[in-house]
Chains A and B, each alone.
Chain A
Amino acid sequence: MRRLALLLAAAAISRPAFADDVAFSRLADEGSISITAARATRGSGPTATVVIVLENARGDRVFLRRAPVDGGGASYQIWLGGPPGVTFTRRGDTVLVEAGGHSLTIVESEIARPTVACWVATLVSKMEPKLLDVAAGLSLLKEQTGGPPMDDAFLPVRLLWPVAPPSDLRPHGAVRFQKGPFHGEAFDRLAAAATAELGRR
């Protein structure tokens, strides 16, 4: 009986608490621009952890990770290559922006003010110089599609867009948003990358 209880306990530990949900989408123009997104979700509602991996045609990846934080609110990370990149922790109407051991507290609705934009751009560009360009490029592409608006997990992109210089991305023709499912080894790798980041703390 005791052995059975131990086996059941071990089985419960080895099973994931929630089934991870992975969804794909793609943004592409009529030229060479193509961005595939894998979105992995664990849990639901405000306590959900969400990881989005964006990959361009050259294989460069941008990671976005949204997770709840103790005491309420949520943290949003964005990085190129490897974490930690830049972290935005939202509590109420303020957002703590952290990068490279430095931080800045901003009121979210003031992001477009010249001074606030300067401070955020300075902090981010010193730690992740390409991040502002990436945010501007993503926002530009998203603006040109009829797809759904960027949701909560895209907070870093939405906050960095107003402070970023105009994107030099030049889409050819119409930019289309396409929802998955997609199948193939490349998508499996992308899904695995997103799922792996779900459990990271």
Chain B
Amino acid sequence: MKRAAAFAALFFLAAPVSGAGFFDGVPSKGYVIDDVSLDVLSATGGTDPIARLRYVRLSLDPGRRDIAYDFWPQREMLMVERATGEKVIFERLLRLQPGADPSAWSPRGRVGLEGSALETFARTAGAQGPCGALDVLIRAGNVDLPVSSGDLSVRTVRLGVAQAVETAVSERGRELVASAVPILFAATTKGLPAPPLDMLNLLFPGRAFARSAEGLTFRQSAGAPLDPAGGAWRSVTSAPLMLPGTPVF
């Protein structure tokens, strides 16, 4: 009943502020810049990993050659697979080429889970109307919430975003995200970057995630790396074509 009420609370904004899907317009082919796979071991959990991680950074082929390779857009994918098989991915898009309309929403960050997702968009110029000055769009399920990045500390905004997120993502899904955060922060000591987690400030404004994890160790993954195009991962993200090396012009 509470979930239904929360859904009703924000459904009014469900009309597509941005009709485009997160990956629409994002190049689907990229060249691997970084690729790290780790097993996460717990001091109390024996030799079997409690989770597996993979971080991939891609240079996305924009499909045109008037942009220097160094300026190609990039996609970061931070994949977490728990020993239970549950999956979550944190993704970030950088350097996307601005479209013809600077007031159009451009994808920025995404938390993908099996069956649900939280996405953030941004724009560089305002638009007309009462929401025209807002620079961030949070998409939680089928709800679009435009937000001003200057209003994230405002109670109404925190309440509204939290309601939208609770409606879009199950309690277990939110726990999965929360439990992945300390693992990923601990993994920064092994070369995994933290910035893909920055979007959590938007999606969970005001929430203080635990960042420290005790008793965790990491080792280079012995098995095949997590494959975003394989099995259940296909329902978690839109897998790109990942090519080794650099493009031959």
Contacts and interface: CB of A to CB of B under 8 A. Distances in A.
Contacts of B134: 114-115, 118
B9 A122 contact: no
B: contact size bracket: 20 to 34
A188 to B, nearest CB: 39
Interface string A94-122: 00000111111111001001111111011
Given A115-B134, A122-B131, 6 more contacts: A102-B9, A104-B12, A106-B156, A107-B155, A116-B157, A123-B13
A144 to B, nearest CB: 24
22 contacts: A102-B8, A102-B9, A103-B8, A104-B9, A104-B12, A104-B160, A105-B9, A105-B156, A106-B156, A107-B154, A107-B155, A110-B154, A110-B156, A113-B157, A114-B133, A114-B134, A115-B157, A118-B131, A119-B145, A122-B13, A122-B131, A165-B130
A102 B156 contact: no
Interface in A161-200: 163, 165
Interface of B: 8-13, 15, 130-131, 133-134, 145-148, 150-151, 154-157, 159-160
Contacts of B130: 117-118, 121-122, 125, 163, 165
A113 B131 contact: no
Contacts of A165: 130
A130 interface: no
A99 to B, nearest CB: 8
Contact of B146 (A105, A118, A123): A118
Nearest to B7: A102
Interface string A114-150: 1111110111011000000000000000000000000
Contact of A113 (B8, B9, B15, B148): B148
B223 to A, nearest CB: 45
Most buried by A among B11, B12, B133: B12
